[in-house]
Amino acid sequence: MVDDFEEVYLEYSDKIYGFIFLLVRHKETAEDLTQETFYKAIKRLDHFKNQASLLTWLLKIARNVTYDHFRRKRIIRFISLGNENEIDSESPSPESTAMNKEEITQLYSALYRLKNDYRDVLILRKVNECSIKETAYILGWTEAKVKAKMTRGFVALRKEFDGKEGFINGSIKRI
């Protein structure tokens, strides 16, 4: 069991926030939903049975909290990229910073045009670096379904870039 939830919060809050932010694309909403995720986790700590890692369990709660938020707000489609300034780059030169921001913005724009299933599996596997087993647990799918949706998601993402395979492969590896 988890002995000190404050340590858990300090260790995982940034990862949970980052995951939620990728779904909602709004800083304050992501902060609120992160807090709600940890509140629900504390309330349901007795349900954590070590079937998955603590991070995986928290990501599942975060996903459910976020989708509940969308349902409450009657948001059918995900919020599009609003503020490009929120995408940071660690590149030293201004030229490479601008190029990276543009590539990342295009990548996220394409990602948000995908079906929810494709977007979720790509974010969990490539951004959050969850294993197939962890992703299946979070989404409530079989591992075979995760693999199939991942493959189809990449195909759909490539179509969004009009077949610019070199660009998309390089960009996905960086995010």
Instruction: Name which of 109, 98, 8, 105 is nearest 61 in CA terms.
Output: 8
Q: Helices 5-24 and 54-72, interaxial angle, to 10°?
A: 50
- Give pLDDT, residue 164: 52
- List, for residues 138-161, the tens digit of each pLDDT value: 999 999 999 999 999 988 988 886
107 with 159, same domain: the answer is yes
Sign of the torsion angle spanned by Cα atoms 68, 74, 77, 80: negative
Does a structural domain hold residue 88?
A: no
Return d(Cα 98, Cα 34) in angstroms, integer: 30
170 with 99, same domain: the answer is yes
Return d(Cα 76, Cα 114) in angstroms, integer: 13
pTM for the whole structure: 0.63
57 with 110, same domain: the answer is no
Supply φ then ψ for residue 119, to 5 degrees. Answer: -60, -45
65 with 102, same domain: the answer is no
- List, for residues 62-89, the tens digit of each pLDDT value: 999 998 888 877 643 433 334 444 444 3
Domain count for the chain? 2
Report which residue type is found at 164.
Answer: K
- Give pLDDT, residue 94: 55
Could you tell me the CATH number of the domain that includes residue 165?
A: 1.10.10.10
Could you tell me the CATH number of the domain that includes residue 56?
A: 1.10.1740.10
Domain that holds residue 163: 95-174
User: How would you classify residue 89: left for phi > 0, otherwise alpha for psi between -120 and 50, otherwise beta?
Assistant: beta
